[in-house]
Protein backbone atom coordinates (compact mmCIF):
# COMPACT_ATOMS: atom_id res chain seq x y z
CA UNK A 1 0.00 0.00 0.00
CA UNK A 2 2.81 2.41 0.85
CA UNK A 3 4.46 1.59 -2.48
CA UNK A 4 1.20 2.31 -4.34
CA UNK A 5 0.77 5.56 -2.44
CA UNK A 6 4.32 6.56 -3.37
CA UNK A 7 3.61 5.91 -7.04
CA UNK A 8 0.40 7.97 -6.95
CA UNK A 9 2.15 10.83 -5.17
CA UNK A 10 4.98 10.79 -7.72
CA UNK A 11 2.51 10.86 -10.61
CA UNK A 12 0.68 13.79 -9.03
CA UNK A 13 3.92 15.68 -8.58
CA UNK A 14 4.91 15.04 -12.18
CA UNK A 15 1.50 16.18 -13.37
CA UNK A 16 1.70 19.34 -11.31
CA UNK A 17 5.22 19.96 -12.54
CA UNK A 18 4.06 19.58 -16.13
CA UNK A 19 1.18 21.99 -15.61
CA UNK A 20 3.22 24.34 -13.39
CA UNK A 21 0.82 23.95 -10.47
CA UNK A 22 1.98 24.68 -6.95
CA UNK A 23 -0.13 22.53 -4.62
CA UNK A 24 1.19 24.30 -1.53
CA UNK A 25 0.05 27.60 -2.92
CA UNK A 26 -3.28 26.12 -3.97
CA UNK A 27 -4.06 25.48 -0.33
CA UNK A 28 -2.76 28.77 1.03
CA UNK A 29 -5.72 30.93 -0.04
CA UNK A 30 -9.08 30.96 1.66
CA UNK A 31 -11.85 30.45 -0.89
CA UNK A 32 -13.89 33.55 -0.01
CA UNK A 33 -16.85 34.95 -1.91
CA UNK A 34 -15.90 36.63 -5.17
CA UNK A 35 -15.89 40.31 -5.98
CA UNK A 36 -18.62 40.11 -8.62
CA UNK A 37 -17.95 43.57 -9.91
CA UNK A 38 -18.86 46.11 -12.56
CA UNK A 39 -16.79 48.93 -13.98
CA UNK A 40 -19.12 51.93 -14.15
CA UNK A 41 -18.31 55.44 -15.27
CA UNK A 42 -18.60 57.55 -12.14
CA UNK A 43 -20.39 60.31 -14.05
CA UNK A 44 -23.25 57.88 -14.85
CA UNK A 45 -24.18 56.90 -11.33
CA UNK A 46 -27.07 58.85 -9.85
CA UNK A 47 -30.17 58.18 -7.79
CA UNK A 48 -32.42 57.40 -10.76
CA UNK A 49 -30.44 54.97 -12.91
CA UNK A 50 -28.62 52.70 -10.47
CA UNK A 51 -31.29 50.05 -9.93
CA UNK A 52 -30.28 47.65 -12.72
CA UNK A 53 -26.93 46.67 -11.23
CA UNK A 54 -25.54 43.15 -11.05
CA UNK A 55 -23.11 41.77 -8.50
CA UNK A 56 -21.78 42.96 -5.18
CA UNK A 57 -18.94 45.32 -6.13
CA UNK A 58 -18.51 48.47 -8.17
CA UNK A 59 -15.45 50.09 -9.67
CA UNK A 60 -16.18 53.76 -10.20
CA UNK A 61 -14.14 54.83 -13.22
CA UNK A 62 -13.12 58.42 -13.77
CA UNK A 63 -11.78 59.33 -17.22
CA UNK A 64 -9.22 62.13 -17.37
CA UNK A 65 -7.18 63.41 -20.28
CA UNK A 66 -3.81 64.88 -19.40
CA UNK A 67 -3.52 68.20 -21.18
CA UNK A 68 -0.53 68.69 -23.47
CA UNK A 69 1.35 71.94 -23.62
CA UNK A 70 2.46 71.98 -27.25
CA UNK A 71 4.91 74.81 -26.61
CA UNK A 72 7.15 72.89 -24.18
CA UNK A 73 5.85 69.33 -24.84
CA UNK A 74 4.82 68.73 -21.24
CA UNK A 75 1.67 67.00 -19.98
CA UNK A 76 -0.37 67.90 -16.92
CA UNK A 77 -3.66 66.99 -15.30
CA UNK A 78 -5.21 70.40 -14.68
CA UNK A 79 -6.76 71.33 -11.35
CA UNK A 80 -10.20 71.80 -12.90
CA UNK A 81 -10.04 68.26 -14.30
CA UNK A 82 -9.15 66.88 -10.88
CA UNK A 83 -11.97 68.85 -9.26
CA UNK A 84 -14.48 67.62 -11.84
CA UNK A 85 -13.34 64.04 -11.32
CA UNK A 86 -13.71 64.35 -7.54
CA UNK A 87 -17.21 65.79 -7.98
CA UNK A 88 -18.23 62.84 -10.14
CA UNK A 89 -16.79 60.40 -7.61
CA UNK A 90 -18.67 62.08 -4.78
CA UNK A 91 -21.92 61.92 -6.72
CA UNK A 92 -21.37 58.27 -7.46
CA UNK A 93 -20.46 57.42 -3.88
CA UNK A 94 -23.56 59.15 -2.55
CA UNK A 95 -25.84 57.16 -4.85
CA UNK A 96 -24.39 53.65 -4.87
CA UNK A 97 -26.50 50.70 -3.85
CA UNK A 98 -25.69 48.62 -0.75
CA UNK A 99 -22.82 46.49 -2.04
CA UNK A 100 -19.81 44.65 -0.66
CA UNK A 101 -17.00 46.75 -2.07
CA UNK A 102 -16.36 50.04 -3.84
CA UNK A 103 -13.17 50.70 -5.81
CA UNK A 104 -12.21 54.08 -7.22
CA UNK A 105 -10.17 53.97 -10.40
CA UNK A 106 -8.94 56.91 -12.48
CA UNK A 107 -8.16 56.27 -16.15
CA UNK A 108 -5.73 58.82 -17.54
CA UNK A 109 -5.36 59.24 -21.29
CA UNK A 110 -2.77 61.31 -23.12
CA UNK A 111 -3.59 63.36 -26.21
CA UNK A 112 -1.77 62.12 -29.30
CA UNK A 113 -0.68 58.85 -27.64
CA UNK A 114 -2.98 55.98 -28.70
CA UNK A 115 -2.14 53.72 -25.78
CA UNK A 116 -1.56 55.08 -22.27
CA UNK A 117 1.06 52.42 -21.58
CA UNK A 118 3.39 54.09 -24.10
CA UNK A 119 3.33 57.46 -22.34
CA UNK A 120 6.68 58.86 -21.23
CA UNK A 121 8.44 62.24 -21.13
CA UNK A 122 11.89 63.29 -22.22
CA UNK A 123 13.08 65.59 -19.44
CA UNK A 124 13.12 65.65 -15.66
CA UNK A 125 11.28 68.99 -15.63
CA UNK A 126 8.45 67.58 -17.74
CA UNK A 127 8.23 64.48 -15.59
CA UNK A 128 7.96 66.53 -12.41
CA UNK A 129 5.19 68.71 -13.86
CA UNK A 130 3.13 65.67 -14.72
CA UNK A 131 3.98 63.71 -11.56
CA UNK A 132 2.93 66.59 -9.32
CA UNK A 133 -0.48 66.68 -10.99
CA UNK A 134 -0.86 62.89 -10.92
CA UNK A 135 0.02 62.71 -7.24
CA UNK A 136 -2.47 65.48 -6.49
CA UNK A 137 -5.17 63.51 -8.31
CA UNK A 138 -4.49 60.23 -6.47
CA UNK A 139 -4.26 61.86 -3.04
CA UNK A 140 -7.50 63.80 -3.56
CA UNK A 141 -9.23 60.57 -4.51
CA UNK A 142 -7.76 58.82 -1.47
CA UNK A 143 -8.96 61.67 0.73
CA UNK A 144 -12.55 60.72 -0.14
CA UNK A 145 -12.07 57.62 2.01
CA UNK A 146 -12.20 59.87 5.08
CA UNK A 147 -15.86 60.66 4.40
CA UNK A 148 -17.15 57.96 2.03
CA UNK A 149 -17.26 54.14 2.06
CA UNK A 150 -14.27 53.43 -0.20
CA UNK A 151 -12.61 50.05 0.19
CA UNK A 152 -10.07 49.93 -2.61
CA UNK A 153 -8.08 52.50 -4.57
CA UNK A 154 -6.53 51.75 -7.94
CA UNK A 155 -3.39 53.89 -8.09
CA UNK A 156 -2.85 53.51 -11.84
CA UNK A 157 -4.02 51.72 -14.96
CA UNK A 158 -1.76 50.28 -17.66
CA UNK A 159 0.96 52.92 -17.18
CA UNK A 160 3.79 50.64 -18.28
CA UNK A 161 6.43 53.21 -19.32
CA UNK A 162 5.55 55.59 -16.50
CA UNK A 163 6.12 52.82 -13.95
CA UNK A 164 9.27 51.51 -15.59
CA UNK A 165 10.95 54.90 -16.03
CA UNK A 166 9.90 56.55 -12.74
CA UNK A 167 10.04 53.92 -9.96
CA UNK A 168 11.03 56.45 -7.29
CA UNK A 169 7.85 58.43 -7.92
CA UNK A 170 5.69 55.34 -7.49
CA UNK A 171 7.60 54.28 -4.40
CA UNK A 172 7.01 57.70 -2.86
CA UNK A 173 3.33 57.76 -3.84
CA UNK A 174 2.68 54.35 -2.33
CA UNK A 175 4.54 55.27 0.86
CA UNK A 176 2.47 58.45 1.23
CA UNK A 177 -0.79 56.60 0.70
CA UNK A 178 0.09 53.97 3.29
CA UNK A 179 1.09 56.57 5.83
CA UNK A 180 -1.90 58.86 5.39
CA UNK A 181 -4.60 56.27 4.61
CA UNK A 182 -3.53 53.05 6.32
CA UNK A 183 -7.03 51.50 6.14
CA UNK A 184 -7.38 52.03 2.40
CA UNK A 185 -6.49 48.98 0.33
CA UNK A 186 -4.40 49.53 -2.79
CA UNK A 187 -4.23 47.93 -6.20
CA UNK A 188 -2.65 48.66 -9.56
CA UNK A 189 -4.30 47.64 -12.86
CA UNK A 190 -1.62 46.14 -15.10
CA UNK A 191 -2.25 45.29 -18.71
CA UNK A 192 -2.45 41.58 -19.57
CA UNK A 193 0.98 41.60 -21.23
CA UNK A 194 3.04 43.32 -18.53
CA UNK A 195 1.61 42.44 -15.12
CA UNK A 196 4.83 40.59 -14.26
CA UNK A 197 6.87 43.77 -14.74
CA UNK A 198 5.14 45.89 -12.07
CA UNK A 199 7.75 46.10 -9.26
CA UNK A 200 5.45 47.01 -6.35
CA UNK A 201 3.07 44.08 -5.99
CA UNK A 202 4.38 43.42 -2.48
CA UNK A 203 3.04 46.84 -1.48
CA UNK A 204 -0.39 46.21 -3.01
CA UNK A 205 -3.26 44.35 -1.40
CA UNK A 206 -4.13 42.58 -4.65
CA UNK A 207 -2.57 41.91 -8.04
CA UNK A 208 -4.68 43.72 -10.62
CA UNK A 209 -4.82 42.51 -14.22
CA UNK A 210 -6.76 43.91 -17.17
CA UNK A 211 -7.65 40.65 -18.89
CA UNK A 212 -7.60 41.16 -22.64
CA UNK A 213 -5.50 38.15 -23.52
CA UNK A 214 -5.69 37.14 -27.20
CA UNK A 215 -7.25 33.69 -27.05
CA UNK A 216 -8.53 32.20 -30.31
CA UNK A 217 -8.20 33.68 -33.79
CA UNK A 218 -11.73 32.88 -34.94
CA UNK A 219 -14.86 35.01 -35.38
CA UNK A 220 -16.80 32.84 -32.91
CA UNK A 221 -14.69 30.33 -30.96
CA UNK A 222 -16.51 27.81 -28.81
CA UNK A 223 -16.48 27.85 -25.03
CA UNK A 224 -14.30 24.74 -25.07
CA UNK A 225 -11.76 26.34 -27.41
CA UNK A 226 -11.58 29.41 -25.21
CA UNK A 227 -11.13 27.40 -22.02
CA UNK A 228 -8.26 25.52 -23.68
CA UNK A 229 -6.67 28.83 -24.70
CA UNK A 230 -7.04 30.15 -21.15
CA UNK A 231 -5.29 27.09 -19.64
CA UNK A 232 -1.61 28.19 -20.00
CA UNK A 233 -2.58 31.77 -19.16
CA UNK A 234 -4.31 30.54 -16.03
CA UNK A 235 -1.26 28.53 -14.97
CA UNK A 236 1.01 31.56 -15.36
CA UNK A 237 -1.30 33.83 -13.38
CA UNK A 238 -1.76 31.22 -10.66
CA UNK A 239 1.99 30.79 -10.26
CA UNK A 240 2.46 34.56 -10.18
CA UNK A 241 -0.23 34.84 -7.50
CA UNK A 242 1.51 32.12 -5.51
CA UNK A 243 4.91 33.74 -5.93
CA UNK A 244 3.67 36.98 -4.36
CA UNK A 245 1.07 35.42 -2.05
CA UNK A 246 -1.52 37.87 -3.36
CA UNK A 247 -4.93 37.19 -4.77
CA UNK A 248 -5.75 38.23 -8.32
CA UNK A 249 -8.39 40.85 -9.09
CA UNK A 250 -9.27 41.23 -12.74
CA UNK A 251 -9.56 45.00 -12.72
CA UNK A 252 -11.00 44.75 -16.23
CA UNK A 253 -12.30 41.78 -18.15
CA UNK A 254 -14.85 41.44 -20.91
CA UNK A 255 -15.57 40.96 -24.58
CA UNK A 256 -17.15 43.08 -27.28
CA UNK A 257 -20.07 41.60 -29.18
CA UNK A 258 -18.28 41.53 -32.52
CA UNK A 259 -16.41 38.98 -34.63
CA UNK A 260 -12.92 38.11 -33.28
CA UNK A 261 -13.70 39.65 -29.89
CA UNK A 262 -11.74 36.85 -28.19
CA UNK A 263 -8.59 37.55 -30.20
CA UNK A 264 -6.76 40.91 -30.36
CA UNK A 265 -9.46 43.28 -29.18
CA UNK A 266 -7.28 46.35 -29.71
CA UNK A 267 -7.15 45.61 -33.45
CA UNK A 268 -10.92 45.49 -33.88
CA UNK A 269 -12.73 48.30 -35.69
CA UNK A 270 -13.79 51.03 -33.30
CA UNK A 271 -17.30 51.08 -31.92
CA UNK A 272 -18.01 54.28 -33.83
CA UNK A 273 -17.43 52.66 -37.23
CA UNK A 274 -18.16 48.94 -36.83
CA UNK A 275 -21.47 47.97 -38.44
CA UNK A 276 -21.68 44.27 -37.58
CA UNK A 277 -22.27 42.50 -34.30
CA UNK A 278 -21.89 39.01 -32.82
CA UNK A 279 -23.58 38.18 -29.54
CA UNK A 280 -22.34 34.59 -29.46
CA UNK A 281 -18.63 35.38 -29.17
CA UNK A 282 -19.32 37.74 -26.26
CA UNK A 283 -21.40 35.10 -24.48
CA UNK A 284 -18.84 32.37 -25.11
CA UNK A 285 -16.05 34.63 -23.88
CA UNK A 286 -17.75 35.35 -20.57
CA UNK A 287 -18.70 31.70 -20.07
CA UNK A 288 -15.14 30.52 -20.67
CA UNK A 289 -13.70 33.22 -18.43
CA UNK A 290 -15.89 32.29 -15.49
CA UNK A 291 -15.37 28.56 -15.96
CA UNK A 292 -11.63 29.12 -16.03
CA UNK A 293 -11.25 31.44 -13.04
CA UNK A 294 -14.28 31.88 -10.82
CA UNK A 295 -13.87 28.73 -8.73
CA UNK A 296 -10.20 29.36 -7.97
CA UNK A 297 -9.37 30.42 -4.39
CA UNK A 298 -6.46 32.58 -5.62
CA UNK A 299 -8.87 34.72 -7.66
CA UNK A 300 -10.57 37.39 -5.55
CA UNK A 301 -12.91 38.33 -8.40
CA UNK A 302 -13.06 41.16 -10.85
CA UNK A 303 -14.89 44.00 -12.55
CA UNK A 304 -16.33 43.47 -16.00
CA UNK A 305 -15.85 46.12 -18.68
CA UNK A 306 -18.25 47.86 -18.86
CA UNK A 307 -21.74 48.25 -17.41
CA UNK A 308 -23.81 50.99 -19.04
CA UNK A 309 -26.23 52.56 -16.58
CA UNK A 310 -27.72 54.80 -19.26
CA UNK A 311 -28.90 51.83 -21.31
CA UNK A 312 -32.57 50.96 -20.87
CA UNK A 313 -33.13 48.57 -23.79
CA UNK A 314 -31.34 46.85 -26.65
CA UNK A 315 -30.84 49.15 -29.59
CA UNK A 316 -31.92 48.17 -33.09
CA UNK A 317 -29.00 50.08 -34.60
CA UNK A 318 -26.26 47.61 -35.69
CA UNK A 319 -23.59 50.22 -34.95
CA UNK A 320 -24.65 50.23 -31.29
CA UNK A 321 -24.78 46.45 -30.84
CA UNK A 322 -21.06 45.64 -30.99
CA UNK A 323 -19.95 47.62 -27.95
CA UNK A 324 -18.37 46.26 -24.77
CA UNK A 325 -21.42 46.57 -22.56
CA UNK A 326 -23.34 43.28 -22.04
CA UNK A 327 -26.57 45.04 -21.05
CA UNK A 328 -29.67 43.40 -22.54
CA UNK A 329 -27.53 41.00 -24.58
CA UNK A 330 -27.41 37.21 -24.08
CA UNK A 331 -24.14 37.59 -22.13
CA UNK A 332 -26.03 39.41 -19.37
CA UNK A 333 -27.81 36.21 -18.29
CA UNK A 334 -24.47 34.37 -18.14
CA UNK A 335 -22.98 37.10 -15.96
CA UNK A 336 -26.07 37.10 -13.72
CA UNK A 337 -25.81 33.32 -13.30
CA UNK A 338 -22.24 33.48 -12.01
CA UNK A 339 -22.72 36.68 -10.05
CA UNK A 340 -25.80 35.37 -8.29
CA UNK A 341 -24.57 31.81 -7.74
Q: What Å distances lie between residue 336 and 32, 118, 320, 325, CA to CA?
A: 19, 36, 22, 14
DSSP SS3 for 74: strand
155: how many CB neighbours lie within 10 A of its CB?
A: 23
Tens of each residue's pLDDT in the chain, 341 residues: 433 434 333 334 333 443 455 545 655 788 888 999 999 998 887 656 666 789 999 999 999 999 888 766 789 999 999 999 999 999 888 887 778 899 999 999 998 899 999 999 999 999 999 999 999 999 999 999 999 999 999 999 999 999 999 999 999 999 999 999 999 999 999 999 999 999 999 999 999 999 999 999 999 999 999 999 999 999 999 999 999 999 999 999 999 999 999 999 999 999 989 999 999 999 999 999 999 999 999 999 999 999 998 898 999 999 999 999 999 999 999 999 999 97
Q: What is the DSSP string of 152-197?
A: EEEEEES-HHHHHH-HHHHHHHHHHHHHH-TTSEEEEEEETTTGGG
DSSP SS3 for 205: coil
Looking at the chain, how many residues does it have? 341
pTM for this model (two decimals):
0.92
The whole-number pLDDT of residue 26 equals: 59
Among 63, 80, 59, 165, CA closest to 122: 165
| Separation CA 179–CA 121 (nearest Å) | 29
The whole-number pLDDT of residue 305 equals: 98
The whole-number pLDDT of residue 204 equals: 98
Amino acid sequence: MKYLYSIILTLLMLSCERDHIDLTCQNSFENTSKLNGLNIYSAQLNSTNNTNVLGNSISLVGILSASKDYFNHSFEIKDYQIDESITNYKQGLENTLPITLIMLRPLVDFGGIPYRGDFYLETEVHWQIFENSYKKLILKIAELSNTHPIDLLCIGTELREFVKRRPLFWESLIETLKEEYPELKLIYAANWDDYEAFPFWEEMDYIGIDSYFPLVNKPTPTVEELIAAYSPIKNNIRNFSCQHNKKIVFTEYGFRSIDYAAWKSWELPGTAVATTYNFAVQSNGYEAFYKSFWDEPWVAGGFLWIWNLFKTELSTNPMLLNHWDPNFKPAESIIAHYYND
